[in-house]
Chains A and B, each alone.
Chain A
Amino acid sequence: MHPVRKQRLIIVLAIVALSSLAIGLLVYALSENINLFYPPAKFSANEVPREVRVRAGGCVEPGSVVRDSDSLLVKFALVDGTGRLKVAYDGILPDLFAEGEAAVVNGTWSNNNVFYADQVLAKHDETYMPPEVAEAMNNGEQHQASCEEANYGS
């Protein structure tokens, strides 16, 4: 390789390496802010500010969803490996919201330890399968397992 081109190659590699390092450090420093939501474990550990708008995300605990009989009010709990967060929401839930599935809620964490959500988003997992296959796999047990696996602490 011609020495001039070799020198240019080194300069190009240096540009890529240094700019990647700079942007990488910047993104790393902002990591906490890039997380979309707090996991339930952070709420249980009392590391989330109260009475300000935050997002929480976790697995909807099977059996925890209670719907009010004469309004849209719905109460449920979000769980992960170690934490549990009580959520109250008054509104229409997305189609994919279900027990044993992940959800992200937007709202405020009140002093009485209830998270008052004004938006509920369903977080779809990465599994895709036809209905017949899903039935054969016994969905009930799957749901239980997916909640126990949920761990956002890593």
Chain B
Amino acid sequence: MLLAWQWFHRLGSPRWFYDKSSRWLIWLMPLTLALLATGLVWGLAFAPIDAKQGDSYRIIFIHMPAAVVALAGYYVMAVAGAVGLIWRMKLPFMVMKSAAPIGAVLTALTLITGSLWGHPTWGTFWEWDARNIFMLILLFLYLGIILLGSIYPSRDAGDKACALLALVGTVNVPIIYKSVDWWYSLHQPASIKFTGESSIHASMLYPLLICVVAYYCVFSLALILYTRHEILVREARTQWVKDLSQLPGKNQGGAHAKL
């Protein structure tokens, strides 16, 4: 138990995260690229066409994983905010701040691709459907958190305000998820079911699942890169960051001598 807490507090150290994450990136980057290429090429080029929609259904390979990760990413942001509020650690707030723009981009991608699919399928680019409305609210929540963080003169106050807004907004995620079941809506219910048989044919389901995993990897990758950037910005005055900027290599004595 004590060991677990120790590990937890080490995770809260920006320097520890910066060192460790450089090693994670080495395998996460090629893995992400490979999964994304496999999923998208399989889905967009090789999966069979849909009996009713023809080729236009293929937008699901971009739309649905983006939506899933936009929702999951909100929880990542909110939980990071909560940890920051409770333990007053630096790193969770940096993670929270970094997650917001990634989530906003994914939400915008979901809305745009959904709109492009809606026009040939439903017959309209936009409808004030429950799913659409609450997804738009999610975009505003993400954008609100980005803005809120930048208007406070003190970084500490901005972080706390963002964390509060993120926590209050969490209720939107289950509402988006269940909106198609709770209300009469134009958006179809989920095709992939956790219990029972999925209503999407296996030949389309497998590339879709690969795309979902790939999008999770993209999110993690972007989150790590953004957080590393945020660490350097916020810790710019610490000695270890100054040392980083000196020269590559760890023999600082020798490097100084040459300069």
Contact = CB atoms under 8 A, between A and B. Distances in A.
Interface of A: 5, 8-9, 12, 15-16, 19-20, 23-24, 27, 31, 34-39, 57, 93-98, 101, 104, 119-135, 152
Given A121-B127, A130-B50, 8 more contacts: A31-B182, A57-B184, A96-B53, A98-B52, A104-B127, A121-B122, A121-B124, A123-B186
A89 B171 CA distance: 40
Contact of A123 (B49, B50, B188): B188
Nearest to B117: A124
B51 A39 contact: no
A131 B183 contact: no
A38 B185 CA distance: 10
Given A16-B167, A128-B57, A122 B123 contact: yes
Contacts of A135: 51
27 contacts: A12-B167, A15-B167, A16-B170, A16-B171, A23-B172, A31-B182, A34-B130, A35-B184, A57-B184, A57-B186, A93-B123, A94-B122, A94-B123, A95-B120, A97-B123, A121-B186, A123-B122, A124-B121, A125-B199, A126-B189, A126-B190, A126-B200, A128-B50, A128-B57, A131-B49, A133-B51, A152-B184
Nearest to B132: A36
A12 B190 CA distance: 31
B184 A15 contact: no
Nearest to B163: A12
A37 B184 contact: yes
Contact of B171 (A20, A39, A132): A20
A125 B121 contact: no
A25 to B, nearest CB: 11
Interface residues of B, number: 44
A131 B127 contact: no
Contacts of A104: 127, 186
Contacts of A19: 167-168, 171
B170 A20 contact: yes
Interface string B110-136: 000000000011111001111001000
Given A15-B164, A57-B184, A130-B203, A122 B121 contact: yes
B194 interface: no
Nearest to B179: A34
B184 A8 contact: no
A5 B167 CA distance: 17
A135 B86 CA distance: 58
A121 B123 contact: yes
Nearest to B193: A126
B60 interface: yes
Contacts of A134: 51-52
Contact of A124 (B52, B167, B171): B52
A122 to B, nearest CB: 6
Contacts of A130: 48-51, 201, 203-204
Contacts of A16: 82, 167-168, 170-171
